[in-house]
A and B are shown apart, each in its own frame.
Chain A
Amino acid sequence: VTAQQLDDIETTPAKRRHRYDVLFAFIALIVGLSWVGDDPYKHSLALHFMTLAIIALAMYVPFVMGGVVSVAYGAYVAIGAYAVALVSTRSDWPLIVAFPIGMAVAAAVAAVLAFATSRLSGFYLAAITLIFAHAFQAWLTDNDSLTGGEAGLSAFRHFTIVGITLTRDQIVWLCIGAVFLIALLLSNLRKSSFGIAMRARREVPIAIEAAGVRVFLVTAAAQLLGATLAAVGGSLHAVQSGAVIPEAFPVALVITALFAPLLGGVESPWGVLVGCVLVVEFTYNLDWIQETGSLFFALAIILVLLIAPRGILGYRPRFPRLPAMFSRVSGHARTASSEVGR
């Protein structure tokens, strides 16, 4: 399917909704960056949001688009974080090198796990990937000489890009910007031929197999992409916090990330970010419900599943046509992404 054909398939209201999503997300990015400022408390909230959002976005392609419930993402995030930790404490290499290393190792581990579990789905896949995440955390704790054991690794070097050392404020901005860029990438990927194959895989896997698309390869590619993005999230977390321990990315965090798109809306990755903002607000920021924030979130998930299964963004109103200039910019971005998807 060519980019032009995809363009024809897509209806005008859907195109318009996509462009409005990008516009509102860009406005939210600017507002978010100015809100965070240099307040340390807001930095910690931004760190929670970034970690949760990148895990949720990493799970978006396999889980929301493909219906593959793998919950091993705590392990992939940890790989990214420990890549930064090891490069910082055991070598003289610049920290930026840790990002591709973490992504490559996470992708390799995801490939092995995807191959080993290629015949599994549903409850079986969720159970085995959950125990894999537990086993990986136990391995991090057991290997004192490499990972620092329960105490983890800390006191990382400063993060520099092209000779410029970033301050804590700038790293927070970098993290939020990375979340925005990943969401934009996935938003466009969703409409590419790969995204359509992935969504069809969830509904009618046998049909796309009959159409000549290898279901295993598409599924494995989605899991590798998810693992790679999760590793980026882990690396950014380590750079921002300056330390990492095995319990930094518990299964509860991954389960929360699993539910974020259901709350915010499953129809686009921007719904993931809406869900993550609500989670951080409910569980960390609001004083009057801080103790029961997770309970409110759990209740909200059940209510959304029963009453509003499309999530918050699924019920947004129709908007009027955007100016032609913005439509052209968004259209070019999507065409480029479709080419990548192919």
Chain B
Amino acid sequence: MLGALVAAYVTTNTSMSLFFAVLAGALVSGTACVLTDLLVIGPIERRGSGEELPALVAVTAVLFLLQQLGGTFFGRAPLPGSDWVDGVPVRLGSTSIPRQVLVTAAVTFVIFTAVALWMRRTELGRLLRAIGDSPGAAQILGLPVKQVRILAFAAAGVIVAIAGCLFSATSGVQADNGFTWTLYGFFALVVGGRASIFGPLVGGVCLALVQTYAVFVFGGGALQYSTLVVGLLFFVLKPTGILTRQLRT
């Protein structure tokens, strides 16, 4: 939300190109993510005894703060996003697909592939996975937990900023979008499963298909009903998500 707001504000109010606007959004979002970890989440986690509740309250408070910051600096009214490419829609048989949708799909695929390669093929990626699996053990082994964590938060900030810029091209962006976008992102993660890097992609596609089909058949309110049903089904009955890791017994 913050990255998309910055990019939309820059393109609307300055003569800066879209590339630099997205760059500015990614920079602000990445910095906000790192500061969030350094100043809020990290200290609160260290003070607690591994409880989830203080971290949940801290994350919600930060999200609330970012929404208020966004609303104060960029206004409460929706800002229009910018298309990354111009031109007439591409025709595939009887279907007409806007170029922006194709760009969104392509950029999404590139980001997921890059993150997967980073995680599997690089030393830093393996380090990140090791720390994520067992932060305590990583600390005892003398691994650079703090530095890797900062890098992870920065990467997360940049990725969500790009996602926000892509999404705002079709829907616009406003400060109040923060909670809803975070909520749908979390749903996509749970539905897809955390066992694979591509889990959130699968979850996002499934959730979007259900939401779109429900709205098409039952009308506007079905967006929320279908999300609730999908959420209850997966959260309660299959919290591991669609993509699960097979373990030998």
A contacts, CB < 8 Å to B: 67, 69, 116-117, 119-124, 126-128, 130-132, 134-135, 137-139, 141-142, 202, 251-252, 255, 258-259, 262, 291-292, 294-295, 297-299, 301-302, 305-306, 309
Count residues on chain B whose CB falls below 8 Å from chain A CBs.
Answer: 41
Answer whether A116 and B183 are a contact pair too, CB < 8 Å, given A122-B52, A298-B65, A305-B61: no
A306 touches B44 (CB 8 A): yes
Compute the total of residue contacts between A and B using a CB distance below 8 Å: 111
A138 touches B64 (CB 8 A): no
A84 to chain B, nearest CB (A): 23
| Cα-based distance from A27 to B231 in the complex (angstroms) | 47
A128 touches B235 (CB 8 A): yes
A295 touches B239 (CB 8 A): no
B231 touches A128 (CB 8 A): yes
B227 touches A131 (CB 8 A): yes
B186 touches A123 (CB 8 A): yes
A138 touches B57 (CB 8 A): no
In the complex, residue of chain A having the shortest beta-carbon distance to the beta carbon of B70: A295
Answer whether A138 and B221 are a contact pair too, CB < 8 Å, given A295-B69, A299-B65: yes
A295 touches B72 (CB 8 A): yes
In the complex, residue of chain B having the shortest beta-carbon distance to the beta carbon of A297: B68
| Cα-based distance from A127 to B227 in the complex (angstroms) | 11
B180 to chain A, nearest CB (A): 8
A69 touches B224 (CB 8 A): no
Taking CB atoms, residues of chain A closer than 8 Å to B65 are 295, 298-299, 301-302
B contacts, CB < 8 Å to A: 39-40, 43-44, 47, 52-54, 56-58, 60-62, 64-65, 67-69, 71-72, 176, 179-180, 183, 186-187, 190, 219-221, 223-225, 227-228, 231-232, 235-236, 239
B224 touches A117 (CB 8 A): no
Answer whether A295 and B68 are a contact pair too, CB < 8 Å, given A142-B219, A305-B44, A306-B43: yes
In the A-B complex, list the 4 residue pairs whose CB atoms are closest, starting with the nearest.
Answer: A298-B65, A135-B224, A138-B221, A295-B68
A131 to chain B, nearest CB (A): 5
Answer whether A135 and B225 are a contact pair too, CB < 8 Å, given A120-B236, A122-B52, A130-B179: yes
B61 touches A302 (CB 8 A): yes
Q: A131-B227, A134-B228, A301-B65 are in contact. List 14 more A-B contacts (CB 8 A).
A: A117-B232, A119-B236, A121-B52, A126-B60, A127-B231, A128-B228, A128-B232, A131-B183, A202-B53, A255-B64, A258-B60, A262-B57, A301-B61, A305-B40
B236 touches A117 (CB 8 A): yes
Taking CB atoms, residues of chain A closer than 8 Å to B219 are 142
| Cα-based distance from A291 to B232 in the complex (angstroms) | 38
Taking CB atoms, residues of chain A closer than 8 Å to B72 are 291-292, 295
| Cα-based distance from A331 to B106 in the complex (angstroms) | 69
Taking CB atoms, residues of chain B closer than 8 Å to A259 are 61, 64
| Cα-based distance from A255 to B219 in the complex (angstroms) | 28
A123 touches B52 (CB 8 A): yes
- From A127, A252, A297, give the contact of B183 (CB < 8 A): A127
Answer whether A124 and B239 are a contact pair too, CB < 8 Å, given A138-B224, A142-B219: yes
Taking CB atoms, residues of chain B closer than 8 Å to A123 are 52, 56, 186
In the complex, residue of chain B having the shortest beta-carbon distance to the beta carbon of A132: B228
A138 touches B236 (CB 8 A): no
- From A131, A258, A301, give the contact of B231 (CB < 8 A): A131
Taking CB atoms, residues of chain A closer than 8 Å to B60 are 126, 255, 258
A334 to chain B, nearest CB (A): 28
| 26 interchain pairs, CB-CB under 8 A | A69-B57, A117-B235, A119-B236, A123-B52, A123-B56, A123-B186, A124-B190, A124-B239, A126-B56, A127-B187, A127-B190, A127-B235, A130-B183, A131-B187, A131-B224, A131-B231, A138-B223, A141-B221, A259-B64, A295-B69, A298-B65, A298-B68, A302-B61, A305-B40, A305-B44, A306-B40
In the complex, residue of chain B having the shortest beta-carbon distance to the beta carbon of A117: B236
Q: Of residues A119, A127, A251, A259, which shows the largest number of chain B Cβ atoms within 10 Å of its Cβ?
A: A127
Taking CB atoms, residues of chain A closer than 8 Å to B179 are 130, 251, 255
| Cα-based distance from A294 to B180 in the complex (angstroms) | 19
